[in-house]
Amino acid sequence: MAIRLIGANPGLTVTGGGRRVAFASVWRADWSEAGSGRAVVLWHEGRTRAVGPDAELARWLAGEFTRHFPEVAGLPWPDPEVTVAPVDMELDLTAGLRASAADVTVTIDGPPLERRACRVEDFDLGGVAHLLTNVYMPCPSGTLTVGGAPVAGDATHAFLADAEVWSRPATG
């Protein structure tokens, strides 16, 4: 297996009226094939955005990973609008997450409801099975603001994911 990314990837889904309204994927790439850094990938109102100080890393995370997550399955996924901006990220595995990038703020409230080690042997990323390992921690709630306005919904699914490693079969 060839490691592609090591880091963290908390996320937040907002639903309303029985449909997905928004999904935010917050990334801390400690090491990856595309470099290290932070990014926020957002799907909202039919738009995809990738925000981070490194445009290529943000675009890579959106295209290689987030677009294949079950949280956005079946949703339109246009090429992401990339915004170069710093990502302020405070991840505390006992208290939750607060991340801000440009006009997007993601808050995940802790403490986590549980912590469990996860291993997915065949996570499909664009037709290529990947091994995903992480520590997954569902949280009681979260909020998402875009452009200074809260994204309205009747439910959220919020989670922390750390010690995350993505690997694919070695080629050659």
Strands 81-84 and 47-52: parallel
Measure the CA–CA gap between 28 and 32, rounded to whole angstroms.
10
pLDDT at 169: 83
Measure the CA–CA gap between 49 and 68, rounded to whole angstroms.
15
Of 133, 95, 20, nearest in space to 42 by CA: 20
pLDDT at 170: 79
The answer, as to whether pTM is greater than 0.85, is yes
| 3-state secondary structure labels for all residues of 22-80 | EEEEEEEEEEECCCCEEEEEEEECCEEEEEECCHHHHHHHHHHCHHHCHHHCCCCCCCC
Residue 113 DSSP label = S
Q: Is the peptide bond before 53 cis (omega within 30 degrees of 0)?
A: no
Contact yes or no for 108/158 (Cβ under 8 A) = yes
Q: Which amino acid belongs to residue 6?
A: I
Per-residue pLDDT of the chain (172 residues; tens, 9 = 90+): 899 999 999 999 999 999 999 999 999 999 999 999 999 999 999 999 999 999 999 999 999 999 999 999 999 999 999 999 999 999 999 999 999 999 999 999 999 999 999 999 999 999 999 999 999 999 999 999 999 999 999 999 999 999 999 999 877 5
